[in-house]
Structure 1
Amino acid sequence: MANNKSAEKRISIAKRNQRQNRFYKSSVRTLTKLYLKNIELFKASQNPTDKEKAKTSLSSLYSLLDKGTKRNVFHKNTAARKKMKLATQLKLIDSN
Structure 2
Amino acid sequence: MPNIKSAIKRVRTNDTKNAQNSSVKTAMRSSVKKADKAVANNEENKGDSLKAAIKQVEKAASKGLIHKNTAARRKSSLMKKA
Give the TM-score band, short-chain normalised: 0.7 to 0.9
Which TM-score applies when normalising by structure 1? 0.76
Distance 1:5 1:72 in 2: 28
Structure 2 counterpart SS, 1:30: helix
Which structure 2 residue ranges, 5 or more long, are not aligned?
A: none
Question: Counterpart of 2:29 in structure 1: which amino acid?
Answer: R
Q: What is aligned with 1:31? A: 31
Aligned counterparts, 1:1-96, within 5 A: 1-42=1-42, 50=44, 53-90=45-82
Q: Runs of at least 4 residues of structure 1 off by over 4 A?
A: none
Q: What is aligned with 1:45? A: none
Which structure 1 residue ranges, 5 or more long, are not aligned?
A: 43-48, 91-96
Distance 2:59 2:66 in 1: 9
Q: Which has the larger radius of gyration?
A: 1
Which TM-score applies when normalising by structure 2? 0.87
Distance 1:75 1:13 in 2: 23
What is the CA-CA distance between 1:63 and the residue it aligns to? 1.2
Task: Count residues in correspondence.
Answer: 82
Distance 1:29 1:68 in 2: 10
RMSD, matched Cα: 1.4
